[in-house]
Structures are given as C-alpha cells and as structure tokens.
Structure 1
Amino acid sequence: MDPNDRSAGISRRRLLQSLAMAGAAAALPRAFAAPAPSSSPPRRLGVALAGLGGYSRDLLAPALQLTRHCRLAGIVTGSPHKVPEWQARHGIPDANVYGYDDLHRIADNPAIDVVYVVTPNHLHMPLTRTVANAGKHVWCEKPMAMDAAEGEAMVRACRDNRVRLAIGYRMQHEPNTRRFMAMAQERPFGRIVKLRADAGWFGWRQGADDAWRLDPARGGGAMYDMGVYCVNAARYGTGLEPVAVRAWDETARRDIFRGVDETMRFRLEFPGDIVAECVTSFGRNLNTLQVDCERGWYALSPFQAYDGNVGRASDGTVFPATLGEKPRMQAEQMDQDALAILGGTPLRAPGEEGVRDMRVLDAVFASARSGNVVVRIPD
C-alpha cells in the first residue's frame, strides 16, 4: 500500500494515539498476555548464564547490571579458559562456576534461582532438562530447541519439576512490538489482509563463538537464527496461529553453507485468508515487519534490532523508539520474567510459545526438503 496515503482518517489516528498513550494495556490473546502488575518483590533472583559467547558477554551480562529484580550470580560454560575473565569482571565466586557436565550440582546452590541457556541450539534441550531436574527456573534463548518434539520435552521437564520456563523472545518485551500485538486485536485499519516479515543480515561472524551457526548438527542456518523472528512476528502480528506453510530454500553459496540454509523464503497461511510472506537470510540485510489491512497499513523497520525499533502507519502515526539503547531491551526482558516468577504471574513468552514456533519451523524445513509443497502445521 502507498506509504503516503492519508485516507485512513482522523478516527483511526485518534485510536492509534490512544494506543500509544495506553501502551500495550489493550487486551491480548492468551498466548501473548502480559503479567499482571506486581508489588515490589522481596528479593532479586540470582541468574546464572549458561554459554559465555558474545550475546552473554556483550548484552546479557551488562543488562543484568541494569535490572531491578535479578542479578548475575553464576556462569556455566564448556570453555574453562573463559572463566578467569568472567570472574575478574563480575566477581563470580568459584562456588557459582559450573561446566556442562557438572551442572546438576546447581541443585545445592541457593544463590542461583534461574539458569539462562544461551548456548548453540543443540544444547538447549539437554541443559534445560538438567536445570529443571535441579529445581531451578529456566530462561532459554530462541529458537528453544532443534524441533518441536525437543521443545515439548523441555516444557514437560519444567512442568514436572514445578519450575518456570521462559523463552528469550526479547521483542515481546519491547514497547512498539507490544503495541502492534494489541493492534492485531483492535484492527484499527479493518481486517488484516497480509503481513510481511523479513529478517536477515549480510555476512556472518566467523569467530570461535559463532562457528556453530554454519553447522547443521548444532542448529546452524538462517531459519533457526533469524527466521524465528519472522515466524513469531507473523503470529503476534496477526494474533492468530498459522495453519499451513510453503517454503523455498534459496541458498546461493553452497560452498559456504553446507547443510544449512543461507536464505529461506516461506509463505504462511492463517485463518480468514490472511497470508504472511517471509524471508530470512545470512546473505541480505532485512529488518521489516508490515501489516496490510483493508483500509491502511502499519510497519516497524527495524522490527527486531537490539534498539531503535521504530515505525509508522498509513495515517501518519509515528511509533518512536522509547525503550532506550542496548542492552535496555534485554534488561526489560529479564526484569519482566523475574517479576513473573516472583509474583506467580504469567510469563510473556512461556515454553509453550516457543513450541508453537518450533512447529512452524518443522513445517518450513519439511516443505523446503520436499520440493516446496504445502505442509500443514499441527495445532
């Protein structure tokens, strides 16, 4: 639709402005419901980071210094040479340092309440089960697992051990994203017709921490890494669950991307004849979410950056960035998850949310492997 079209009218503008004033307070579908307000918690949750790569080092650890309801209490790593630097920088005692093989010992450590799993994807399920069996809450980066079956096993392990499982969908804690989630229900421009979600970045990091992103056995490839943003955005952008998908693996540099996808294009079908056209790539810079409706459109670009996610709508409404510079988003995510645990309220992105995305990813891979046939997505 024409981005200069102002025909949507004053009433829609006022509705969007009221949403801006109210934030994301509008009613949301159950899968995306925000936790109820909670009084100040009696203590801060001790968090151990499992996996000490760039995301933990450069974003999560600094973000924990900004949180009000949690603190960096421990580390878990398969790379012992990283331990001295982390201890020196963050004052972590020897008693709060673990390897992957002795992680079960964390059950006896009252200083640690939550383990945030930030490892390559193939370790998410086994580490989550170990942590849950030790009686600790789990925060797990996206994608939550290698497939939906692993994700379901993670949910069961946490449920059986009466601990909470949150998936690291940081965007669902970002104000403009929350507003778009509310708009999926309010429909200020009428019926949703189409959604577009593109997420990608040109090139890839080739350091030791990121070599796994080109390894199929460890969950490498663009679909796992970036495509999850598109899938989750298509779901929260429509407020619906997709019923089918058709996918095309458009990998060009197979000498580099051996066994993993460089670029994946997929088309999601939703109830009500709504479609979502998505592209994810390690070969293109992509970062746009747009929702086209009967009488207008609204979009975020970028929609999944670490900061500066801004947008606009066809009636001239602007969605400015309000959260602050990185790592403010990660701090907000962890604080909200901590409050949900401390207050016994719903998580914004529980394990079941991650499983829904994994079912879509399973279907995307199945479609691409089988010659782009339409694949049904299980409920």
Structure 2
Amino acid sequence: MSSRRDFLTKLSAPFLAMPMLSELTPKMSDIPARELQPLSEFSTGKMSDTYLRVAIMGLGSYASRVAEAMQSCKKAKITGLISGTPSKLKTWQAKYNVPDRNCYNYENFDAIKNNPDIDAVYIITPNALHHPQTLRVAAAGKHVICEKPMAINAKEALEMVDACKKAGVKLLVGYRMHFEANTLDIIRMRKEGAFGKPLFFQGLSGFIIGNPNQWRMNPALSGGGAMMDIGIYSVNGARYMLGEEPLWVTAQETKTDPQKFKPGIDETIQFQFGFPSGAVASCLSTYAMNYLDRFFLNGDKGFAEMMPSTGYGPIKGRTHRGELSHPHITHQTTQMDEMAGIILEGRKPVVPVDGEEGLKDMVLIDAIYEAVKTGRKINLTLPRILPV
C-alpha cells in the first residue's frame, strides 16, 4: 500500500480538512420541501412525454447489467454507445438498436457535443478513468452519470464537481441503494424517531476476489483494493443510515496474501467513524471473505438490520417492529428512472446522488488510507449531511 498511499498523501492531504466542502453543501432553506417520489406516481407533466437519452461508456459486465435493467425503464433509454472495443460496439448496436451515428470510441467521443440524440453519458469504466472522461463529457455539454467510486481521490472528485458546474451540466454518481425501497424505509423510520437516538452502525462489505489479473487488482486503474470497490458501500451507508457526517476516522489494515494483493491493493481494512451526536460506526471492507453484506443500525429505542444490504437483491430488512416486505425491483431500473427525474425535472432524491455526495465519500476514503498509513485518528472537517 505504500506507493499508493504516498501518492495520495501528496494529492489528498489538503482535502482531509476540506473547508471548501461547506460551500458545496446547500443550506436547508435552499432545498425544496418536496422529496423524490417514485416516477410511477407521475402520470402527467414534462416527464410524461420525454425520456433521458443515455450513452453507455464502457461496455463491460456491470454495463451489461445496467443496459438490461434499462429495458424496463419508463423514463430512460439507451441511445448511444462508447467503447474501445469495436466488436463490443457491433454486438451492443444490434442488441439495443443503436445507430452507427451514435457509436463512438475513446478517442472520438468528444463529438457527442454535436449529437442531439444523447443527453447524458453513464461512465462505467475503471475507476482511474472516471476523472478524465467526466471532464471530457462535461466539456461536450452532456450530463454525467459516473459509477462509484466517482474518482480515485478527493482532489480528482473536486475537479469533476467543478468542471460539471462550470459546464452547466449535472454530475450524478451511481448510488443505486439511495433509491432502494427497504433502505428508504429504514431512513424514513429513523427520521420519524422509530429507533430513538441512533447509537451505533455496523457495515460489513466483502467477498473473495476472483481473477487476480482483472483491472480491480491493478492500482493504476482501480486506485486501491477492496475499499475502493466494496468498502465504499459501508462508508456511504454509515452516513445515510445515521444521517450525519463523521468527525473522525481510525483504521487498520490486514493483509494475509501479499502475493495476491500487491502494494497499492488493500485486502482487508477495518475502519471506525465518530459522529457529532456521539454515535459510532465500525465497518469492515475485504476482498478475502465471503458472506459479508450486512448493515446494522442500533438506537436506544430500536434497531434495523439489512442482510443482504447492498447486493443486487433482493434486499432483506427487518427492524424491532418486524420484517420489511417491499417487493424487489431491479435496482438499476429504478436508479435510471429516478435519475431521469433528477436531470430532466430537477427533482431532489431523499438521499443525494450528486457529485458532492461522491466527493464526501472520496474525502473519507482518503482519510481511511491515511489512518491506516499513520496509525492515527484522523480528524475531519466535513459539512454535516442534510437530514434525510
């Protein structure tokens, strides 16, 4: 991890305090009272006769999952493709009926600027490519949907936020769980005081990684190991389950297989957050253990548990009041329909999915790596998350 951490320390140290983030966080008075409701409840208005025209960038396995899910979308449609592999473009063209004029490679996709068939680009490429590709999409005047993590450090994330703001386009991050019904039900219950004062959150995120030659095991492309891939779920989940921003972080790394997990690729990291209310979080991120997909929220009047908590579903949840019974809907279908509402109507989700949200997670991940490297508690100056 030393090479990755030394590199990020130089780039990210100024962001551990990040006082400028307060400027990125809207005041409560600036937020419309109306929260995001399922698009199925809207039968009239602007969204009834239009849809978000999306180009998919990076035609890998997760992009395939998104594309299949989008076939059931009511408000989002695949109208463009961007790939460095000509054979994939031909296969996807035929499958999703995308014309030649809407297909691009990584060298020429800036030409989307002049293509009225594309409103937004969903970037689903290796982590290290998100930053340069987002800057190019923004410069082309198209909205950006970027898969998480949005960047490999906070410095890049902030540049992405700034670029999209200057270009007048939206930057959204692929936080599909922010639209998942069981997750939103627990957030609603927490807001209503069903759990009393939240005291503790536990997030377990992990699986045994497969092919050691995949891009996720290459620090130049991934920016890290398990933390950047699966650990971000617990980082983000701690924030939306407790409804606060952490004030400090501590972290410890365990590496049992240094041959498989080369320098710059973390295998297992345990990390802890402390929050303004006094609540604490204890989380685990790993590439070395299966069956780790659990969130647990404890309050002085009740609890909530989700297991699985962030997988592709169905998500299972229960509280001290009993089981949650929301039917499973493919997460990416809901995500893309709801993001269409955000981009085309300016609607506000219950839990943010914008670039500022992604930036906060990157600040925290940088701080986790710093805590591992130094063995110190890292104090954070972050804006408190808006109540959700």
Fold match (TM-score > 0.5)? yes
Q: 2:56 aligns with which of 49, 52, 55?
A: 49
Contact in 2 for aligned 1:308/1:321 (Cα 8 Å): no
| CA-to-aligned-CA distance 1:284-327 (integer Å, 9 cap, x gap) | 12000001111321111110011111111234x11124233xxx
1:143 match: 149
What is the Cα deviation at residue 261 of structure 1? 0.5
Residue 221 of structure 2 corresponds to residue 218 of structure 1:
yes
Distance 1:373 1:295, change over 3 A: same
Matching residue of 1:271: 276
Given the alignment, which residue of 228, 235, 238 partners 2:239? 235
Task: Give me the whole-angstrom Cα distance separating, in 1, the residues matched to 2:347 and 2:99.
Answer: 32
Q: Does 1:359 find its partner at 2:363?
A: yes
What displacement does 1:346 show?
Answer: 2.8
Structure 1 regions of 5+ residues with no counterpart?
1-26
For residue 131 of structure 2, give the secondary structure of its aligned residue in structure 1: helix
1: CA distance between counterparts of 2:129 and 2:178?
24
> How far did 1:205 drift?
4.3
Shift of 1:31: 12
Between stretches 77-86 and 195-204, larger displacement belongs to 77-86
Aligned residues of 2:189 and 2:195 also touching (Cα < 8 A): no
Secondary structure at the aligned position of 1:56 is classed as helix
In 1: Cα distance, 2:193 partner to 2:275 partner = 16
* Deviations 1:222-259 (CA, angstroms, capped at 9, x unpaired): 00000110011100000000111001111211100102
In the TM superposition, structure 1's runs of 4+ consecutive aligned residues that sit over 4 Å from their partners are 29-33
Q: CA RMSD in A?
A: 2.0
- Answer yes or no: is the 8 Å Cα contact 2:212–2:260 preserved in 1: no
Measure how far apart 1:280 and its partner are: 0.9
- Scaled by the length of structure 2, the TM-score of the pair is 0.84
- The amino acid that maps onto 1:46 is R
The yes-or-no answer on 1:114 pairing with 2:114 is: no
Q: Which amino acid is 1:359 matched to?
A: V
2:384 aligned with 1:377:
no
What is the identity percentage for the equivalent residue pairs of Structure 1 and Structure 2?
36
Q: Which residue of 2 aligns with 1:3?
A: none
| Per-residue deviation, 1:356 | 0.8
Aligned with 1:378: secondary structure? coil
Within-5 A mapping of 1:192-211 = 192-205=198-211, 211=214
1:184-214 CA-to-partner distances (Å, cap 9, x unmatched) read 322212111110011111232457xxx1110
Q: Give me the whole-angstrom Cα distance separating, in 2, the residues matched to 1:256 and 1:188.
A: 45
Q: The residue matched to 2:78 in structure 1 has which SS?
A: strand
Task: Report the AA paired with residue 35 of structure 1.
Answer: L
Q: Contact 1:199–1:281 at 8 Å: present in 2 too?
A: yes
Indicate if the aligned counterparts of 2:315 and 2:328 stay in contact, CA closer than 8 A. no
Q: 1:261 to 1:164 in 2, by over 3 A?
A: same
TM-superposed deviation, 1:81: 3.1
Over 3 Å counting, the alpha-carbon distance change for 1:78 and 1:109 in structure 2 is: same
Provide the C-alpha distance between the structure 2 equivalents of 1:79 and 1:180, rounded to a whole number of angstroms. Answer: 42
Quote the Cα distance in structure 2 between the aligned partners of 1:195 and 1:32.
Answer: 28
* Partner in structure 2 of residue 18 of structure 1: none
Residue of structure 2 equivalent to 1:23: none
* Contact 1:359 1:378 (8 Å CA) reproduced: no
Stretches of structure 2 lacking an aligned partner (at least 5 in a row): 1-27, 383-388
Report what 2:105 is aligned to.
99
Q: Who is 1:337 aligned against?
A: 339
Distance 1:125 1:295 in 2: 43
Equivalent in the alignment of 2:95: 89
